Structure 1
Amino acid sequence: MKRLEGKRTLITGGTSGIGLETARQFLAEGARVAVTGSNPATLEQARQVLGPDALVLRVDAGDVAGQRQLAHTLGEAFGQLDAVFVNAGMADFRPLEQFDEAGFDRTIAVNVKGPYFLLQALLPILAKPASVVLNTSINAHLGMPNSSVYALSKAALISLARTLSGELIGRGIRVNAVSPGPVSTPLYGKLGLPPAELERTAAAILAQVPAGRFGEPSEIAKAVVFLASDESAFTVGSELVIDGGMSTL
């Protein structure tokens, strides 16, 4: 039997990279899938890749009102949700002296505030049992230069996985986190760096990975499938680090 047979699921930021691959694997495991994104091009790409069985929705991950509307839409479409992968996020890497308030606020809105209020809005339609998986980052554990705002936003999600797991387990809702290391996704292309500098940045990151390579989206997606499935029924408030050994250095 497929591991997610009949489960009703949501993947935010599900139109590219880790999110899109996770959606593909959820569908292959028998789930009903809704994905969100904000880029018209990747939304269309997701429709092509995932096919007519997936619900593809345009939502700004940092907009609180948008999260409430998303919860309403999903309640009408699915009734309830059995699994949620909170994956939408952004990375803005700058030195401390170059960060401005607008950039700080946008990162926090997309990576922390939006996810927090999404989970609040979803509470009435989360099934019992249900699984919530937060996509955090190994950056929360590393002192990587220029990643201060990104890292603090991901550290907040790790904290949420712990605190909400204690708060919600009585409702049958498990909350866990995955913390990927560097993964081959379009995220790095969104850093706004010139190609040569992006290449140098990638090489510097790669030098810190004992496994000698970047991870693949499928490797993260497999972990999310496990955490979303009943196989992980006794896994609560955990953080699964998937970083090729980067955090061991």
Structure 2
Amino acid sequence: MTRFIDQTALITGGTSGMGLGTAHRLIAEGAHVIVTGRTRQRVDQAAALLGPRALGVVADTTDLDALNALMDTIKARYGKLNVVFANAGVGTFTPFADITEPDFDHAVDVNFKGVFFTLQKALPLIVDGGSIVINASWTLHRGNGILTLYSATKAAAHNLARTLAAELAPRGVRVNSISPGYIDTPMYPVAALSETEAAAITSRVVADRFGRPEEIAAAVAFLASAEASYINGQDLVIDGGLVNAIPA
């Protein structure tokens, strides 16, 4: 498909997992894609994998100076953004009683502050009629006892999608979020789990398996495309049935 010919997309946290998978998908459909990461090695590796229509930029989304420099680079090279996938995030899997102030600050910085200011800084470059997709989490919709902090930061990011959808509507900029379930990525690799752990997780999922990054990429590409022109302020749960169905 060629839904993104002559379009430019920014993907934060685009060096692996869902971000990298989405970069591959958008490039395959014609886009120029900027991917960010926190280390030069990972950014360069991702850019090499993605090919000539990709630009890798080292940028920490919690650093506003780095975000300003990122947007300056995009403006100088492409002049615009049609799509932003605010994907950079960090997992925090600690019981509530054990969460420290540094834990709290780090999770909020990456999962909410980073998303908030990425979008604020990108806004002048986003064309009228553009699309923003925020990576939230299935934990918005179902409580999990060791994910209190993580879930709260993702809920904040999802709420940002809804409020921005209203604020940016006069420009025709649509804002939606996605809520992935258990996806096999470097942040949560199936290979690192024991057979018992993996089986315990998939037993809760109607699809009886982990999701794949390319399945998330397909959903992001749909939401970012003109095919989703009447979808705004929504959260798309991509979880194999984890949240809303009980395995037989």
If the TM-score is normalised by the length of the shorter chain, which range does it land in?
over 0.9
What does residue 225 of structure 1 align with?
A: 221
Q: Identity of aligned pairs, percent?
A: 45
Q: Deviations over 1:116-135 (max 9, x none)?
A: 01111111111011100001
CA distance in 2: counterparts of 1:200 and 1:65, whole angstroms:
45
Tell me by how many angstroms 1:199 deviates.
Answer: 5.8
Which moved further from structure 2: 27-36 or 228-237?
A: 228-237
Q: Are the equivalent residues in 1 in contact too, given 2:31–2:53 (CA < 8 A)?
A: no
- Match of 1:46, as an amino acid? A
Asked if residue 212 in structure 1 is aligned to residue 243 in structure 2, the reply is: no
Separation (CA, whole Å) in 1 of partners of 2:37 and 2:198:
25
Residues 80-132 of structure 1 show CA distances to partners (whole Å, capped at 9, x for unaligned) of: 10011111100010001111011111111011001101111111111011100
**In structure 2, how many angstroms separate the alpha carbons of the residues matched to 1:162 and 1:140?**
14
Alignment of 1:106-121 (within 5 A): 106-121=106-121
Counterpart-to-counterpart distance in 1, 2:162 and 2:32: 27
Distance 1:152 1:158 in 2: 10
Superposed displacement of residue 147, structure 1: 0.7
Shift of 1:48: 2.1
Structure 2 residue identity aligned to 1:62 = T
For residue 40 of structure 1, report the CA deviation from its aligned partner: 3.6
Q: Which residue of 2 aligns with 1:147?
A: 147
1:192 aligned partner: none
Change in Cα spacing, 1:123 to 1:182, as seen in structure 2 (3 Å) is: same
Residues 102-181 of structure 1 aligned to structure 2 (within 5 Å): 102-181=102-181
Matched ranges for 1:16-95 at <5 A: 16-95=16-95
**2:230 equivalent in structure 1:** 234
Structure 2 length-normalised TM: 0.93
**Residues 34, 56 of structure 2: 8 Å contact kept:** yes
Aligned partner of 1:101 in structure 2 is: 101
Structure 1 residues 199 and 40 mapped into 2: Cα distance closer, same or farther (>3 Å)? farther
TM-score using structure 1 length? 0.93
Corresponding residue pairs, total: 244
User: Superposition RMSD on alpha carbons, in Å?
Assistant: 1.7
Amino acid across the alignment from 1:239: D
State the partner residue of 2:7.
Answer: 7
Question: Whole-Å Cα distance in 2 between the matches of residues 130 and 166 of structure 1?
Answer: 14
**CA distance, structure 2, for counterparts of residue 57 and residue 10 of structure 1:** 10
State the Cα distance separating 1:201 from its structure 2 match.
4.4
- What residue ranges of structure 1 are gaps of 5+ in the alignment? 190-194
* Secondary structure of 1:247's aligned partner: coil
Equivalent-residue separation in structure 2 for 1:98 and 1:199 (angstroms): 27
User: What per-residue deviation string (whole Å, max 9, x for no partner) do you get for residues 212-238 of structure 1?
Assistant: 000011111001111111111111111
| Aligned equivalents of 1:181, 1:219: Cα separation in 2 | 11
Distance across 2 between alignment mates of 1:203 and 1:39: 34
Residue 64 of structure 1 deviates from its aligned partner by 2.4
CA distance in 1, matches of 2:207, 2:72: 43
Amino acid at match of 1:106: H
Per-residue deviation, residues 37-81 of structure 1 (Å, max 9, x unmatched): 113442232022111321001111222222222122211111010
Write 1 or 2 for the structure with the bigger share of helix: 1
Q: Distance in 1 between matches of 2:130 and 2:84?
A: 8
